[in-house]
């Protein structure tokens, strides 16, 4: 399974592409950060993010997209930009006809490190180790995007099987 993970941000949006199967270390395909200038018009920043993510989806042809779920922050202005970037990320996957799943930061941390309260340094260290990299991915936005992709590979596959079984049971059929 090839997953494109997106750590949404308006100024810096991390994107990581990982290939793998649940329970095994994944293979790094690539990672990127899409930048925009804070003093640019918001419409142009969102358009740049949309076209950049669309290009990365087309280039890497992922099987699915994993996006970090926006959580409440104290700074309303920051959370608004993150929410807008998150919507663009979800749209990029949807537009390509791909399944899109969102994960909270603590879900991602727990999947990658075993602790939902792990710090950024611990997440980056584990991503580096799990993907067998010589050096940590920089900046942290890229490492977070790779962690999202790993989380989806490990948890998303299980989640998809559970949802498929539930749908089958609702239809009255049992799949073996």
Which residues are tagged catalytic? 7, 68, 141
Round to whole Å and give the CA distance between 34 and 19: 21
Other Cβ atoms closer than 10 A to 84: 18
Round to whole Å and give the CA distance between 29 and 94: 21
Tokens 């890497």 belong to 60
User: Tokens at residue 50, please?
Assistant: 């949309």
Round to whole Å and give the CA distance between 12 and 34: 6
Round to whole Å and give the CA distance between 92 and 58: 10
Q: Which of 63, 48, 120 is nearest to 97 (CA)?
A: 63
Round to whole Å and give the CA distance between 79 and 166: 34
């Amino acid at each position: 399974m090839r997953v494109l993970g997106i750590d949404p941000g308006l100024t810096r949006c991390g994107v990581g592409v990982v290939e793998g199967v649940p329970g095994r270390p994944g293979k790094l395909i690539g990672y990127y950060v899409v930048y925009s200038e804070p003093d640019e018009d918001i419409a142009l920043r969102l358009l740049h993010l949309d076209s950049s993510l669309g290009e990365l989806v087309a280039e890497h042809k992922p099987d699915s997209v994993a996006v970090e779920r926006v959580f409440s922050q104290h700074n309303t202005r920051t959370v608004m930009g993150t929410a807008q970037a998150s919507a663009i990320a979800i749209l990029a996957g949807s537009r390509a006809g791909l399944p899109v799943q969102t994960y909270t930061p603590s879900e991602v941390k727990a999947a990658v490190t075993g602790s939902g309260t792990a710090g950024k340094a611990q997440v980056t260290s584990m991503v580096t180790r799990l993907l067998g990299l010589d050096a940590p991915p920089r900046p942290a936005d890229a490492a977070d995007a790779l962690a999202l992709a790993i989380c989806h590979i490990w948890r998303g596959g299980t989640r998809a099987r559970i949802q498929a079984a539930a749908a089958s049971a609702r239809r009255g059929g049992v799949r073996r």
